[in-house]
Structure 1
Amino acid sequence: MSDRAGLRARGWLRFPADAALRAWAEAALPAARVAIHAPENAHWHRHGGTWFAGVNALENDASGRIGGVPLAGAAVEFIARHLGAPEAWDKAQISAVLPGYPGRDAGESDAAHRFRLRRDAAHVDGLLPVGPRRRRKAAEPHAFILGIALNQAGPEASPLVVWEGSHEVIRAAFLEALDGVPQREWAEQDLTDIYQATRRRIFETCPRRCLPLRPGEAILLHRLALHGIAPWQAGAQAGAEGRVIAYFRPPMPGGVTAWLATP
């Protein structure tokens, strides 16, 4: 099976560390440390201080360059060849997880905390809670998710988790739910109930894969893949900032229609 076919079938693809991505990760880690400790980013420290969510916190430029080092390597070349390079790379999310994850925030419900503990806070990126009732809508469709490990961490240090094949289950369920709705209105549709029901089905039918990464290794996720973060296991090893991954999630050209219809 080719890498392209594997991504379409499984919803994820791992890239070994190469010289270009290793150099990028080495340049990005000091910038990530600055962002993690910056006072203006204090609101990104979540779950009792055990996770720095860091959305768009890395100060890379629109080409992905950081500290003078270009974003390059096999993963980036694959994206350009098979998915189309973004017109501009977004500022990367810095996901830094510390021992004890998931801690519990004040005001977090029992159900929400149990879901993070038992189901890895499984979610599909871009489905955001909107309005006072926090109903899920496809408000931020991404083209893909590219995660690059910035530091050394053991396999038990809260790795990325993905449910293999879940992207096609999500696609089929959402397209069925939106059948008969004009495409121009898709972004405004409440997908909460179908999303929750489909997520439960995925837990029962799709294999759960833990995907620990070494520095400079990368994971490419299909934009519709259900994924999350595993709890930190006792004895897991990582750097002072915990397990740190930079995630790129550029916007999907064509919006929600292309987000669901494109392979």
Structure 2
Amino acid sequence: MVEALAMRSWARFDWDNRTALWAEAACAAGRKALQDPGLAHWYQCENTWFAGVDALPNDATGALGDIPLEGAALEAIRAGLGPIPPLHAAQLSVIFPGYPRPRANESEAAFGYRLKRDSAHVDGLLAEGSQRRRHLREPHAWILGLPLSDSHPDAAPMVVWEGSHKVMAQAFRNAFLDHPPEVWGEIDVTEIYQTARREVFDSCPRVRVHARPGEAYVVHPLALHGVAPWSAPDGPGRMIAYFRPECPGGIADWPIS
């Protein structure tokens, strides 16, 4: 897995019965979450996307009730990247036919980027203030995607720009080189990030990542990734759970070296 992340920015894992059992439990919990009035604010893009941040009721090990979060992907993370830190409640990302539609208060330019560039981003670089300036606030260790429903390959899959983590790592090394990690989060990286994205679009292949329940994929935390528009026939929404734990050592462990 480490080799795949180093070369391609992502790694895929074949069907595993342990992962499939977790996905079944998570899908049932996800259906309840979609109907929970307390989570209704996560319906975005004119109800074509349920963003579902922290929407699944897993514990800090990832378990749902007595169903542990296990499988080949978890074993590979432990073997290649180290112990799994305490996990947050998983994001439940559900996309429906018609995605994307404009998000509330989304500018025309931002919606155009969502439509034409899959809203491609690097996680953890938060846009702040009225000018939407980017700062590193959430240094993720890795991204784990766990499909919870069978879906058509064109039902708004995740997309990843292969090798993009290398471009991004170089850009952020240049930005942070002369500064201690304690101040990295205060450095405005807006222009550096935008320039690096353009380089990625020009030089890195865009790939669609499709998987079924019981399979999994891990994405490098510096990889440029997004969600493709729904181009499949109409059908039920596609449901994926995501874990993005922060680096155990904080911002100093963000993998730019």
Please classify the TM superposition score into its range, dividing by the shorter chain length: over 0.9
Separation of aligned partners in 2, 1:153 and 1:252: 31
2:208 corresponding residue in structure 1: 210
Instruction: Tell me the CA shift for residue 89 of structure 1.
Output: 1.4
Instruction: Tell me the CA shift for residue 230 of structure 1.
Output: 0.3
2:57 corresponding residue in structure 1: 59
Number of aligned residues: 257
2:26 corresponding residue in structure 1: 28
1:164 corresponding residue in structure 2: 162
1:226 paired with 2:224, answer yes
Instruction: Tell me the CA shift for residue 85 of structure 1.
Output: 2.5
Separation of aligned partners in 2, 1:73 and 1:111: 41
Contact 1:156 1:236 in 2 (8 A): no
2:238 corresponding residue in structure 1: 243
2:149 corresponding residue in structure 1: 151
1:129 corresponding residue in structure 2: 127
Match of 1:147, SS state, is strand
1:75 corresponding residue in structure 2: 73
2:85 corresponding residue in structure 1: 87
Match of 1:96, SS state, is strand
Separation of aligned partners in 1, 2:104 and 2:126: 21
- Paired-residue identity, %: 51
2:190 corresponding residue in structure 1: 192
**RMSD (Å) for aligned C-alpha atoms:** 1.3
Match of 2:255, SS state, is helix
Separation of aligned partners in 1, 2:142 and 2:232: 32
Unmatched 5+ residue regions in structure 1? none
Separation of aligned partners in 1, 2:256 and 2:207: 25
Provide TM-score, normalisation by structure 2.
Answer: 0.96
Separation of aligned partners in 2, 1:258 and 1:81: 18
Separation of aligned partners in 1, 2:103 and 2:124: 23
Contact 1:60 1:91 in 2 (8 A): yes
Unmatched 5+ residue regions in structure 2? none
Instruction: Tell me the CA shift for residue 244 of structure 1.
Output: 0.4
Instruction: Tell me the CA shift for residue 109 of structure 1.
Output: 1.3
Provide TM-score, normalisation by structure 1.
Answer: 0.94
Moved over 3 A (4+): none
2:118 corresponding residue in structure 1: 120
